[in-house]
Amino acid sequence: HRCGRGTRTEAERRIRFGKVAVHEVGHTLGLPHCPTRRCLMEDAKGSVLTTDREYDLCSRCRDELTRLGRAARANPTIPWPKPSA
């Protein structure tokens, strides 16, 4: 329900849901919230709208995953469009 607020299409809702899922898996793997704007691990502070500007993990979060022994792919295939700056 929350992922659908303010969206116009089912595709927009699914993209938000996918980004939220990746964020939560990041926590499961040991990542904390990230202060980097546009990182998938950015703290939403109660608003799902942050997902609209997010695209991928930042280099800091990728480095942290590597440190935790769970390196992310260097050039992942990302299933949602890159948001405009």
Confidence of residue 1 (pLDDT cuts 50, 70, 90): low
pTM: 0.87
The tens digit of pLDDT for each residue in 4-63 reads 677 778 888 888 889 989 999 999 999 999 999 999 999 988 787 788 899 999 999 999
Measured CA to CA, the distance from residue 8 to residue 60 in angstroms comes to: 33
State the DSSP string of 14-36.
Answer: HHHHHHHHHHHHHHHTT---B-S
pLDDT for the residue numbered 66 = 96
